[in-house]
Amino acid sequence: MSRRPSPSLVVSIIALVFAVAGTSIAAVNFARNAGAVDGKSAVGAASSGGRAAGKLVATASSGPLRGKIPIRFLEQGAYVAGSKQTFAQGMSVTDNASGAPVGLTLSPLGGLTATCIDQNNTAGKEDPRVTITFTNTSGQNVNFSRSIGEAAPSVSVVLAATTSAFTINNANTFHLYAQLGTVNYVMDGVVRQDNAGTADAQCVVYGYAVIL
């Protein structure tokens, strides 16, 4: 003789099924969002702005920005008073000669220029190098430091109406910092040499500057 389950038993079985199903869904969602913060996964520091949109950005794992978030992902206007500039210049090499200086940035303390030079005296075989020059136009002495790649910085004072210049023979990064009173001028850039050893070599310089 068969017996029908009681209503309370049916309700208990249904509740158990939903509980198990809910646990499974939660486990899937947890696995899917493992490592995320507030459901948002991080992208690498080298990601584009479009790929980073709506996501977290991880700090750089290597290089001069190791442990830091690149400034292009930060909007300074939200927390500092100042301005920002970007620069990008491609300069053709003049065979066996030095090109004219090209302006990169300007600030109340001075300006930054780049000069593309052929360091190979053989005709038709250009070997580009870049000279970066800071010109102090503030009318006063400016505290100044510069570093190339991961080398130790060179700290000095740039006298009024004088310049401070350095040359990068190969691809590398550079960091400059000028200060006078309450004005701080910070620059980070990259130098690259394209098509070295040919008659169509080029110097490439790009980066950003922040005036605080």
For the segment 160-169, what is each residue's pLDDT rounded down to a tens digit?
Answer: 999 999 999 9
Instruction: Decide if 97 is inside a domain.
Output: yes
- Give all strands of the β-sheet with 102-106 in edge-to-edge order: 102-106, 110-118, 128-136, 163-168
Instruction: Decide if 61 is inside a domain.
Output: no
The structural domain count of the chain equals: 1
Instruction: Decide if 81 is inside a domain.
Output: yes
Instruction: Please determine, for residue 79, whether its predicted confidence score (pLDDT) is greater than 50.
Output: no
Amino acid in position 135? T
pLDDT tens digits, 106-129: 999 999 999 999 988 899 899 999
Among 27-36, 58-67, 169-178, 180-189, which is the least confidently predicted range?
Answer: 27-36
CA angle 66–72–73, rounded 5-degree value: 85
Which band of pLDDT confidence, cut at 50, 70 and 90, is reported for residue 88? very high
Instruction: Decide if 72 is inside a domain.
Output: no
Show the tokens assigned to 132: 């970066």
Instruction: Decide if 50 is inside a domain.
Output: no
pTM of the entire predicted model: 0.63
Instruction: Decide if 145 is inside a domain.
Output: yes
- List the domain range (segments joined by +) for residue 179: 77-211
Instruction: Decide if 132 is inside a domain.
Output: yes
CATH number at residue 172: 2.60.40
Beta-carbon contacts of 7 under 8 Å, excluding residues fewer than 6 positions away, are none
Our measurement of the distance from residue 191's CA atom to the centroid of its chain's CA atoms, rounded to an integer in Å, reads 13
Instruction: Decide if 43 is inside a domain.
Output: no
Show the tokens assigned to 129: 């190098």
